[in-house]
Structure 1
């Protein structure tokens, strides 16, 4: 009887261990910040941007193929921090997500404010990699969540139109950071402005 219980315990331990391994994502490692460009002489940018492209170690082309274009608005505060509001269509409603990003000693690089409000997030950095301020911006985000590093690149546009050249530059940038076509998505259009 005791031997039977021991074997049953070992089998259950093996099952639990397998489930734990399956739930841990096999992520492409996040690049160190020194490998990510920083917009030279960054000048503050504000206003509404549309998310035209996303790439990251959590994205999956099959899983996120129905991801819709959404808007993000950057509002500069007096202390040079940003209120960042994203408006996403979610389950037939609009969902608004507000974050505050605090400037660091490097112009164009920010950290998430009030990080203690976000359970499990240990560090969150935003870096403006490239922008012309009027038509596009590429931002790099890196977070450490429950001791796991995640990163993404967001391609913003002032309009919902994505030019072939901008798409090509975005794909090249994402691949330069170790991502593959599988990790790069281009959200689909939706009616979001009336």
Structure 2
């Protein structure tokens, strides 16, 4: 029994250390990062999200870099109510590639870190918040609906290193007509 408790504590310490060791993309360039991205992968273990895992579809977002260094993100997501558009405003921090934003849904500030990107094909992004317990999301973004297998493996490895169980790491299918055809992007 005592060995199990020690093992659990060690795993929790290692998970916290892994999160603390996540650094943003070296020499991050917001101008190169701006533009259209598709969320092609998501690792999320919130108990409230579990019933919806099999319904998740790839979503599309547009990152607009502001002169201040802040970011506006417009996301289109397919929901049971249809294609929904959401707007986010990310505040720059003193560290390039790290942002914060205020979540009106959770009434709290969340941290966003662009962990890895080559700007032309993919980006790995970590979202972290503390809300009754720590929650983290790892997302894989791509410039198109096709993602190379080695990038998917890199995304899965990052998610596993953050303590996500394999069943919470998703690569959802593309969404049809979301955003609707003719929507300015």
How many Å separate the matches in 1 of 2:141 and 2:151? 10
Moved more, 149-158 or 55-64: 55-64
> Does residue 129 in structure 1 map to residue 118 in structure 2?
no
1:76-155 correspondence runs (5 A):
76-112=65-101, 115=102, 118=104, 120-145=106-131, 147-155=132-140
Encode CA deviations 1:105-157: one digit per residue, 9 max, x unaligned: 11110010xx3x72543330000000001110000001223x33211011000
Aligned-residue RMSD, C-alpha:
2.2
Which of 176, 182, 191 is the equivalent residue of 2:161? 176
> Does residue 187 in structure 1 map to residue 172 in structure 2?
yes
SS state at 1:167 partner: helix
How many Å separate the matches in 2 of 1:107 and 1:101? 12
Q: Which runs of 5+ in 2 are unaligned?
A: 1-11
How many Å separate the matches in 2 of 1:170 and 1:89? 22
Q: How high is the TM-score relative to the length of structure 1?
A: 0.76
Q: How high is the TM-score relative to the length of structure 2?
A: 0.79
Asked if structure 2 preserves the Cα contact closer than 8 Å seen for 1:54 and 1:154, the reply is: yes
How many Å separate the matches in 1 of 2:90 and 2:79? 24
How many Å separate the matches in 1 of 2:119 and 2:166? 27
> Does residue 50 in structure 1 map to residue 32 in structure 2?
no
How many Å separate the matches in 1 of 2:115 and 2:64? 19
